[in-house]
Structure 1
Amino acid sequence: MSIRPGVFLPLSHSIQARVTLTVAVVSVLVAAVITVGLCLLIRHRTESEIFRETRRVATEWIGLMERGQVSPPMATARVPLVQLVDSQGRVTVAGPMAGDRPLSTVRPSEEDRFRDVTECPESERCVMLTAGRVPSLQAWELLKGEPHFVYVGTDEPPVLRGHRLEFLVGSGGALLAALWTWTTWRATGRVLRPINAIGQRLSEITANDLSLRVPQPSGPDEIARLARAANQTLGRLESAVTRQREFAAIVSHELKSPLTGLRTGLEEALLYPEIDARQAIARSLPAADRMQQIIDELLAFARLRNTPCSSQPVDLGALVRAEAAARTTGVPVRARIEPDVRVLGNRVQLASIVTNLLLNAQRHATGLVDVSAERIGAQALVVVLDDGDGVADEDRERIFEPFTRLEAGRRLDPDGSGLGLALCRAIAVAHDGSLCVEDSPRGARFVLRLPLLTG
């Protein structure tokens, strides 16, 4: 097994590029809306302030006109352009900066006496002004009834001339959108940099070298948790592959001896005609039986580890009592069973655990084997205790490894495969339980723990 080296995605497939492009589009839209709204707001407020001032000056000047006398123009610093124009378009009175040409040709009516306009003569600057009509009564008293118009205005501010305002605000919006886009690109790249490093390291890992680990950022964020999960997975994978290699090596070693004996016997029958073929075959059968036993136990062990077992309610106490009663040969077995010790599991597999433990205990016991089934809290407890020599502390875990056989086991059971206890523990783990060797005054004390069936 190998992991194919990673290939970097083109920019169009990059998360960083896609996120940045999305933010750029949104930024441009938001900046455009802000620009348009800000331009309209600035233009409206500026024009409102100017026209409010021009209308105020025009209203006050018209109000100061008395019978037979027109007061001087009320020009101010903010409103320097003031004119009084008759109906023929002649400037009657004007401020010093207004000139002798009418500022506008707008003629407000009696119903709408004031109008705000912006005049932009050709090749001249624009003027923002208020055109006001002198009331008819004052026109009769003051100006012999001829309609007169007041023009009060000022030069258009530079910010409102042409598209200068839109250009300035638009430039600011474009700069803001560019800043958002650049910040998003940098931030996304910084966030994705650990992920790229993880992907690069994963592409370097092969089945021949599972010791590599991905870079693990500090902190509790999602990327750090991803790196930790990846390293934990790689650790479990390395352990599993290591166990498989060791298991394959042990299987090869265990099968080598019977296979060699079988081959030797068959070759002798072929090379030496004087050897009786039936006798040669008969001498080879034990080696074949040995191989078959190992293969059967290996298949059961592999099937148990890779296939979930079917579960049903099992009266564990009755099962232990039946298995103990079946041990009619060898060292006596004494059973102590509590009532209603029920678990959920596969009856055949649980029975194989009890059988293997009892056979192992009888093999090592000198006078008696005790087996018990009881309830301890939320667990069912099966204890098999013999009065033999026991198991050394350093060997209590090793005996559950496949093909591990201690010296005493080889002496008492020369034909054993070393898979019995490994298979028992695998069944216990498959049932969410445990199997281990615990301390005892004498002999070996095997303890099987399984979850009790509740409800």
Structure 2
Amino acid sequence: MVTRAISHRTTGGRRFRWTMYRPQSLRARYTMAATALSFLVLTGAGASLDMVIRHKLETDACAETRRVAGRWSTALRNGDVPHTIPVFNQVKLVQVVDSRDRVIESSKPAAGLPPLSAVRPPPDNPIQKLTECGPGGCSLLAAIRTSREADSTFVYAALPAPSILTKHRLELLIAAAALPLLAAIARLTWALLGRSLCPVTLSRAKMSEITPNDLSLRLPQPPGRNEISQLVGTANEVLDRMETAVQHHRRFASDASHELRTPMAGMRLQLESALLDPENVNAHDAIRSALMGVDRLQAIVDDLLVLARITGEEPAPPDAVDIDDLVRDAVERRDGGVPVHVHPSGGARVNGTCVQLMRVIENLLNNAQRHAETRVDVAIETVGGEVVVTVSDDGDGIAPRDRERVFERFTRLDSGRRRDPGGSGLGLAISREIAEAHGGTLCCEDAPLGARLVLRLRLLDQRSDPLTAA
């Protein structure tokens, strides 16, 4: 329970505080709401039932008294009314009253009683239904005027009102039947909500055990496909992604610190040697070696910044990019190295960021030229709604066991270290990140000679291409 305090200032300047208690438990709230709604429904149903029963009983009683009063009214007009009116049914109180309020004839139970009612039906409404209450209780009464003359007589037939209609007995009986039903509804609602929210309680208890240092725990998956089950499933999927991301970041931080520590340690060793033994160590060579280490550090830092932008920043608005033109531009900007032969397809357009896709092409060309012996081939084609860019070289190739490792961050095979000692080991990892960010793939496939890297991107729909539509 939570307490809300509300203050109010009166004209006298005094402050009064009162509190309103509102349950924070959903189970309690919904049980109270269901009970309140059931109370309103049962109240309406009880009131309707009370009206129906009361109307039925009163209608039957009035019909019986009216029938008896009508019978003796007819007998009175025919002069066949005895001095003591016999009783044949439940209507035991029958009186014949003249215009002077004198009881002329009556049934034996009504003998000696004053007139049953002071109401005298007028000529334009000779038959009336009445309810008369006295010290002995209430009666349902029918009054009939026997003629239109001023000195007409009146016949009254009365029946004691059913006991269930007196002293609110009918209402109390309906309430007594409705209260257990209302309690059963509240109890059932509480139990059903408890069963429904049990997975939430278990999940909350399990969630409290999860710490940043241990994200391996998962919430217990309830059966079925209701909203709570879907929520728990989504939470477990989020925990899977969080665990993967945390492990990825930890591994990345460890690899980055290791890769940065190696050139820094080399630079420190060379500079300290130059300071401690200036006679035997050439300072110019030490500075040149240190600058080479700085270049390697700068390359690693630049690639790390690229990875951070790809994974952490909002992507730039995509544009229609012609892969044929992109590859040709990347090849024309290259300065020397193994010749690159381009085999364009024509019409290979994708939706993406031109700068990032250019970075992928350049990384693939750098990797291919680094390992090629005589040539590099770049083939562009469209297959099944995809643009496929294949970069092949005639070098030593990549062993099947290393074809996934080359896309891991800071992974450098022995052949790559020999050919480019200053590489960062992030080029292919960055390329795959960019490809996946564009909804594509980058992988290493079988080749008869050398290595074969294949980039696949979704082909731009011609109907959504503004240039084609124009």
TM-score by length of 1: 0.88
Match of 1:421 in 2: 428
Match of 1:33 in 2: 44
User: Equivalents in 1 of 2:122, 2:321: separation in Å?
Assistant: 107
User: Equivalents in 1 of 2:347, 2:140: separation in Å?
Assistant: 102
User: Equivalents in 1 of 2:429, 2:100: separation in Å?
Assistant: 119
SS of the residue aligned with 2:23?
Answer: helix
Match of 1:75 in 2: 87
Alignment of 1:52-451 (within 5 A): 52-65=63-76, 68-71=79-82, 73=85, 75-87=87-99, 89-102=101-114, 104-111=116-123, 112-122=125-135, 124-135=136-147, 147-272=152-277, 274=279, 277-307=283-313, 308-327=315-334, 329-451=336-458
User: Equivalents in 1 of 2:91, 2:373: separation in Å?
Assistant: 123
User: Equivalents in 2 of 1:383, 1:242: separation in Å?
Assistant: 32
User: Equivalents in 1 of 2:104, 2:235: separation in Å?
Assistant: 91
Do residues 18 (structure 1) and 57 (structure 2) align? no
How far apart are residue 168 of structure 1 and its match? 1.3
SS of the residue aligned with 2:224?
Answer: coil
Q: Which amino acid aligns with 1:57?
A: V
How far apart are residue 443 of structure 1 and its match? 1.9
Verify the 8 A CA contact 2:117 2:132 in the aligned structure 1: no
How far apart are residue 401 of structure 1 and its match? 0.6
Q: Which amino acid aligns with 2:67?
A: R
User: Equivalents in 2 of 1:69, 1:223: separation in Å?
Assistant: 83
Q: What CA deviation, in whole Å up to 9, does each residue of 1:430-451 have, x standing for no partner?
A: 2222111112222211111122
Q: What CA deviation, in whole Å up to 9, does each residue of 1:369-411 have, x standing for no partner?
A: 2211122232211111122232222221111010111222223
How far apart are residue 339 of structure 1 and its match? 1.9
Change (3 A) 1:67 1:331: closer
Change (3 A) 1:37 1:347: closer
How far apart are residue 215 of structure 1 and its match? 1.9
How far apart are residue 147 of structure 1 and its match? 4.6
How far apart are residue 326 of structure 1 and its match? 4.6
User: Equivalents in 2 of 1:68, 1:434: separation in Å?
Assistant: 114
Change (3 A) 1:364 1:146: closer
Match of 1:141 in 2: none
How far apart are residue 325 of structure 1 and its match? 4.3
Verify the 8 A CA contact 2:121 2:144 in the aligned structure 1: no
Match of 2:468 in 1: none
How far apart are residue 419 of structure 1 and its match? 0.7
Larger relative contact order, structure 1 or 2 (CA cutoff 8 Å, min sep 6): 1
Verify the 8 A CA contact 2:146 2:152 in the aligned structure 1: yes
Q: Which amino acid aligns with 2:48?
A: G
Q: What CA deviation, in whole Å up to 9, does each residue of 1:270-307 have, x standing for no partner?
A: 44454565554333222222222211111112222222
User: Equivalents in 2 of 1:17, 1:354: separation in Å?
Assistant: 62
Q: Which amino acid aligns with 2:395?
A: G
Verify the 8 A CA contact 1:385 1:443 in the aligned structure 2: yes
Change (3 A) 1:322 1:91: closer
SS of the residue aligned with 1:285?
Answer: helix
User: Equivalents in 1 of 2:209, 2:126: separation in Å?
Assistant: 85
User: Equivalents in 2 of 1:328, 1:136: separation in Å?
Assistant: 130
How far apart are residue 254 of structure 1 and its match? 0.9
Unaligned runs of 5+ in 1: 1-6, 138-144
Aligned length: 439
User: Equivalents in 1 of 2:205, 2:325: separation in Å?
Assistant: 57
Aligned CA RMSD, in angstroms, stands at: 2.6
Verify the 8 A CA contact 2:390 2:452 in the aligned structure 1: yes
User: Equivalents in 1 of 2:303, 2:77: separation in Å?
Assistant: 126
366-375 or 87-96, which deviates more: 87-96
User: Equivalents in 1 of 2:167, 2:333: separation in Å?
Assistant: 108
Verify the 8 A CA contact 2:102 2:115 in the aligned structure 1: no
Percent sequence identity is 44
User: Equivalents in 2 of 1:418, 1:181: separation in Å?
Assistant: 66
Match of 2:10 in 1: none
User: Equivalents in 2 of 1:388, 1:269: separation in Å?
Assistant: 40
How far apart are residue 91 of structure 1 and its match? 4.0
Q: What CA deviation, in whole Å up to 9, does each residue of 1:307-363 have, x standing for no partner?
A: 214433322112223333455633332221122222233333222222222222222
Q: What CA deviation, in whole Å up to 9, does each residue of 1:156-191 have, x standing for no partner?
A: 211111111121123334444333333333333332
81-90 or 358-367, which deviates more: 81-90
SS of the residue aligned with 1:120?
Answer: strand
User: Equivalents in 2 of 1:262, 1:160: separation in Å?
Assistant: 106
How far apart are residue 110 of structure 1 and its match? 4.4
